[in-house]
Each structure stands twice: as structure tokens, then as C-alpha cells.
Amino acid sequence: MKVVCVGGGPAGLYFGISMKLRNPEHDIEIYERNKPDDTFGWGIVFSDQTVDNITANDPVSAKTIVDEFIHWDLIDCHVEGKVERSGGHGFIGLGRKRFLQLLHARARELGVTLKFEQEFSLDDIDGKFGDADLIVASDGLNSKIRNSNLDVFESTIETRPNKFVWLGTHQTFRDAFTFIFEKTDHGWIWAHAYQFDDNTSTFIVETTPDVYDALGFEHMSHEESAETCRKIFEQYLDGHTLMTNSGHVRGSAWINFPAVYCDNWIKDDRVVLIGDAAHTAHFSIGSGTKLGLEDAISLAKHLNVDTTVPTALKAYQEERKIDVLRLQNSARNAMIWFENVPRYIEAFDLKQFNYSMLTRSQRVSHENLRLRDAEWLESMEQHLTTTFGVDGSKGPTPPMFLPFQLKDMKLNNRVCVSPMCMYSATDGLPDDWHLVHYGSLAKGGAALVYTEMTNISADARITPGCTGIWNDEQTEAWARITRFVHENTQAKMAIQIGHAGPKGATLEPWKWDPAILDEPLPNDQQWPLLSASDQPFDDYSPVPKAMTREDMDYVRQLHVEAVVRAVKAGFDMIEMHAAHGYLLSSFITPALNRRVDEYGGSLENRLRYPLEVCAAMRKAWPAEKPMSVRISAHDWLGAEGVTEQDSVAIAKAFIAAGADIVNVSTGQTSHQAKPQPGRMFQTPLSDLIRNEGRVPTIAVGNIYEIDHVNSIIAAGRADLVCLARPHLADPNWTLHAAAEMGYRGKGAAEPHQYFLGYRQAHTLAERARETSS
């Protein structure tokens, strides 16, 4: 096979090596525009896992590379002269120039043709390289091939706001990968520093756009910029200068990170993207080179099986896109964290700030930190234990079992059972099923148990099986449930009060046609629907009535009456449902609100009626008891819906209207939404609202592991954590989590009737821990 690689960076070179290893007869040519020893970076970083991957692929080149690596396990986090140090992180550094030299040597040894100082034009694909079986676009971040075919490659390129500059120094930072945060007169600026050879380190300086502008970097020469940074970080440099090798860059040496995402990597079954041409990962997790090398290995593997080139390219893309997307999601989390350093550094003490930084990608979890550095994590847990007023004399309390108080409601841990519709009521009446269901959840250890969305009228239901609280019989049925919970468990009960709006009058989900979400009831069984506008939720949904002012007054009063009944039923907390495209959400989201009066248009107008309802509910609810509001903090519809920029304003508005905490969900306001699913995928929005808006939050959304809950609480991303499906599978999830962690404190009180069962559970869990240690 004849292959031309356009671009001689690590991805292209390693692809050539990998191809020759599999079949020496391949004709591989690599064209690079620069000279062999030109490089404009400083060092690169690998994880231990990356080393394992390249060792398995090519032990010869891996050995030459590994022999020159600088290896360290520590991470230091300096904030204005104070430092937190943790270990066990397993990073490896190497100079970019040296890395390329080693790859050049190995490529030549295997017979790869390297051609330097070769400019490339798009015409070469069918002209100069017309006889090639495959063109590999390894031309990096500014890929000419990708940028000339953005539509074909379905490319999205986001220019991120922060400014950063690559510098070098002979201060080696020998002990640790080092993060330094300094506050100037104009705001925060920070450095990512790591050693990559015996006497040189990379020193990346990053800051927000406003600080960059205020410090005047835009108008400095490259040398002046480096000297200004040297003065800011002088106490960490031991008299060394900061060096620049960006003379090839016109204008400021500072750049913005371009986040590159491509849904398709193949063109005409003959051109394929690898490495930074196909995707980028923010430098704060050091995975760009890793991704490029792993692309190279995968592409070479698929091209060397008995199949056609088009089939091999599709197999390569299918295999790599999953891993790349997973890592890009983590890199995006890390990137956004650094874009918001002022948010965290002003809100947290040094220990929690360091924890937040270490777990910023959501790939490094609480227990993963324990594996890396158990002593440091225990000190963090002890710090949180003391901070939240818990007696730490017998050791630290796991974050998920720290207490939390909201108004007069005291919770013994941070775990909540999410609202989960059972669709099993008759005429809105909770029955024995609901008693057993909620009773089981309450005795399972969660501190707060939510009811399903409980509706304010028969016409407010989602389905005929939804519960309600619009009459005395329903109120007493709920009181029966809360009495059981309060008399037999330490859990508190919250009722979620709502109106389905345009999503009402549907079948129970298990009756849906698999191709139809929210399938409507047959016409003769439907009830009239209300919404902000007369827009059906989907093209097959019934058309709702756009609410008049009279309708608004009536529905507001129904919410108030539901609150009064919730008081009689003995609930500890109420939650107003203003999410997921239901009635109040239909006002907030522009996807459903097409009004042209004072209740439509701007976000302020769209919030007007939901805030009115919130205030009325708060007035009817006892002042000493807490109230929550559930919101869709993101519609996943781009500019056509609620965005994360809107979410803080929405949350703060509800707090001002009387809510005490915001339950941060997303989406479900349109079937056209394109969320970015993954574990804890909604948690960053809780983080944003809590730490930018200074609003107490509840995190929810694909949270299913003990590690998730501990990480979210310890990093300050939420005050409480809601889990749904894990509690359906295991109502005793929280108590089982306590046994797994060996925790027997006040935050995990099992029913005394089950004492023997949980004693055994703890014994078995302890044996399992001893066996695995």
C-alpha cells in the first residue's frame, strides 16, 4: 500500500512506524513543511498508560523513548505562596524536539520516507499524490485538509476564551508537576509547569481575557511578555528567566485554545484525519499527543487486515471515536475549570481548591485519589469533617455522609432519592404500592426522599397513573406515607409539585410505541392541556391552549392549595417543578414559549410567571421549612433554548423569589435536544450555579457510583446529590455504600430491625477490602 502522510508531527510519524512494523512492504511517505529540528513547543506529557500502549505496539522505540523520560508522581498546587502536595499521579515528561528526533530515527530505520521543508497544497491530493492509496491528514491543529472541508468532516471549532502562552525555563520543578496561582492587581494568573529534560521545564502561563487585557500582554513583544510573567512568578523561579521560542508567531505570543470536534474523519474513502487534525484535548490534561499516537496505532491495525481501505477507515473511526469522545469530554471539563479559576479560588480554601483541581476532569475520582495518595485524601476528608462540625476524633467522615441543614431541616447525609414517576396511582391517589415504595427508599439510608412529580389537578397529570395532591383523600394518603417515614426512619420527605403542561395526557411509558416518545392518549381519553403557547410538544402531540391571565391566576392558586395540603400531609420540604418542558418550564424555555406579551421574549419576561408561582408557594409554606425549585439549566438546543449562561440568572431569580436550593437538571424540553451524555454530565451546571451564582444546589443526572457522590460533595460541585435509577435497583443503596466504605457513623443509620443484616454486610465488606489490599 502506498500512503502519504501530510504532516510530520508525532501522529504522522508514529503512524508510519506502526504501518512498517506490520508490513515492511508498505510505501510510506511523510511530508513536513518544517526542518527536521524545528519545533515550537517545549515539553510533552504522557501518562503511564500511554507508555504501556506504545510499548505494546513497538517495544524498540518505546525503550528509547522511556530511557529519556523524566518521571514524577507528585502534583504541587501553589496559591499565593502556600502549597498543597499530593502524590501517586504517574506523569512522564519529554522534550518535544527530542521526541521527534527519536521518532525520526525509528521511522528511517524501518524504511519510512521523510521529506522536510515540503509545502502542501490541496491540489496535491489528486495531483502529486494521485497514485497514493491513502492520504493521512496528520497536519495538526491548523490542518489545511480539515479546514478546507469543514462540512465534509462535520467539524466544530470553538475558540475558547482564556489566553495562554508556552514558555520554557531552566528552573526544573524537579519534584512535581506544578500549578502556581498568583493574584495580581488585575486578577488571577496561573502557570502549568513540568520538567522535560535534565535542565529544562515547560512553563505555560494562562489567564482570563480581562486579566490579559488589563496586564497589557496584547501590546508586548514576546520577550517583554516573558519578562512580565517572570516578575509575576519570580518567587518560584529561583532567579531563572522565562524563555520564548515563538519567534515564528506574528503579533502576541499568547493564543486561545481551539477546541476541535469532528463527527466524521473520512473523505472520499481515501483521505483520513488523525491526531489534532481530527480532535484536540486541552493542554491541562496533557492528552493531545496520547490521542495522536493511539490514533496512529488503531489506523495502522485496521489497514493491515484483509479488508478494503474504505472498510478499514470506517472501522478505525468507529473504534477511536468512542475513546476520543470520552477523553474530550474529560478534557472539556478540565478546560472549563481553568476558564473559571477565579470562581473556585475565591470560594474554596486551599485544600478544597486543590481537590477541585485534581478532580476537574471528572475522570479522577475520590477513590482514585485514595489509590494515588491515601494519606493526602484522608487529610482532605478530615478537613471537610472538621469544617462541617463533625467530631473527627475517630477518623474522617466520607463526604457523602457529612450532615447538611437547610432552614430547620437537618439531613444526616448528602444523598437524596430523585423524583421518579411510578405511573401507578388511580385518580391521583397514592396507594399501598407507594407506601411500600417510599417506605423502602426511606429505610435505605438516603437522607431525603422525593416523591414523584405530584400534580395539582387531574388535568395537570402526565399520565392517568400519576399521583396528585388536589383533594383530601390524596392528602391523607400522603400523610400515611410521611408518618411511616418519620416514625421508622431518619429520612426526610420532599414533595415535588407540578403541572405537566404541554406534556400531559400521555400513555404510561411502558405502553408507548417504541418510536414515539411521550405518546399521547387516544383522542377520546385526552384532557385539555395548558402551556405558555399554543405549540404542541411534538408534531404528534395535542395542541395546548396558550394560557390567559385568568388561567395563570387559576393555576397559581392550584399550586398554593397543593402547598397547603403538603403542610397537612407532613412533608419536610416542597419542590416546585419548573423543568423538563412541563407547564412552568414551558414559560422559561424559548423552545416552547412563543408569546409576544410580557410573559414572552426576554429571559426576564419568560421567568415572570414561574417566579410569581414560586413566590406564592413560598408564602403558603412554613417559613422554617425549605423549598426547592427544579430547573432545566440547559436545553441542549444551542441558541434556540436555555443555555448555561442563562442558568445562573434563572437559579438566582428563584432564590430571590423564595427558594432555598435549586435542583439542577437539564433538557427534556424538546425531542430535538442534543445533550452531551456521560457520567455526571449535568454536574458541571450545578457547579456553575453553586460557585458562580453562590446558590445552594442539588446535582442530578447519571450519578450512580459512591465515587460520584463523594467527588461531587468534596469538590463543592453541589450541596446534595440525587440518585434515581440506582435507588430503583437497590433501595438500600446508601447503607450498602456505608458498608462498602466501612463507615458506621451518624450519617448511615440503619433500621434497628435490620441490625444483624447490616452487621453481616459490614463484615463481608471488610473482608473484601482486606482481600483486595
Rounded to the nearest 10°, the torsion over CA 53, 54, 60, 62 is -110
CA distances from 88 to 360, 361, 371 (A): 17, 17, 8
CA distances from 476 to 243, 483, 485, 486 (A): 74, 10, 14, 15
Q: Could you say which of 316, 582, 609, 758 is catalytic?
A: 582
Query: Hey, how many other C-beta atoms are within 10 angstroms of the C-beta on 696?
Result: 20
Where do we find the cell 440503619? 750
3-class secondary structure for 181-238? EEEECCEEEEEEEEEEECCEEEEEEEECHHHHHHHCHHHCCHHHHHHHHHHHCHHHCC
Query: Hey, how many other C-beta atoms are within 10 angstroms of the C-beta on 335?
Result: 24
| Alpha helix (H) residue ranges in 234-305 | 288-303
- Cell numbers representing residue 147 in the block: 479546514
Q: Which residues, 6 or more positions from 384, have their beta carbon under 8 angstroms from its beta carbon?
A: 352, 396, 397, 399, 402, 714
Calpha distance 615→664 (Å, rounded)? 19
Sign of CA dihedral 592, 597, 601, 604: negative
Q: Which residues, 6 or more positions from 165, have their beta carbon under 8 angstroms from its beta carbon?
A: 204, 205, 217, 225, 226, 229, 244, 246, 253, 254, 255
Sign of CA dihedral 280, 285, 291, 292: positive
CA distances from 746 to 401, 403, 411 (A): 8, 9, 10
Structural contact between residues 664 and 575, judged by C-beta atoms closer than 8 angstroms:
no
Selection from 504, 513, 509, 425 nearest residue 471 by Cα:
425
- Cell numbers representing residue 623 in the block: 417559613
- Cell numbers representing residue 93 in the block: 515528561
CA distances from 593 to 25, 51, 520, 556, 600 (A): 64, 53, 21, 18, 6
* Active site (annotated) includes residue 582: yes
| Cα 34–Cα 36–Cα 37 angle in degrees, nearest 5 | 100
Residues involved in catalysis: 582
